[in-house]
Amino acid sequence: MHIGNKIKEIVEKRGITSRWLASQILCDRTNIYLIYKKSTIDTELLQKISKILDYDFFKDYSDETFLQDD
């Protein structure tokens, strides 16, 4: 799973702007665009983003891991 793509997908589904997300995690909007390009992310940052977007990205990772093992 490319986490940056997934975050961008959820942001777009929620109708949220990158500027708003940046203000919530106290960073510059350009950093959000960098996050969208990342295939991996720090777990603390992912936890913040998960809470802000009310979406469990960790579950997606878990589901992907267990589905690959089958």
- Give tens-digit pLDDT for 10-66: 999 999 999 999 999 999 999 999 999 999 999 999 999 999 999 999 998 887 766
Instruction: In whole angstroms, give the CA distance from residue 40 to residue 1.
Output: 9
Range of the domain at 55: 3-69
pLDDT of residue 45: 96
Q: Comparing 40 with 70, which gets the higher pLDDT?
A: 40
CA–CA separation, 11 and 45 (whole Å): 15
The tally of domains found in the chain comes to 1
| CB of 18 closer than 8 Å to CB of 32 | yes
> In CATH, what number is assigned to the domain containing residue 29?
1.10.260.40
pTM over 0.85: yes
Query: In this predicted structure, what is the pLDDT of residue 63?
Result: 77
CB neighbourhood size of 49 (10 A):
21
Q: Which run of H or of E encompasses 40?
A: none
Query: Which pLDDT score, from 0 to 100, does residue 12 have?
Result: 97
pLDDT at residue 69 tops 60:
no
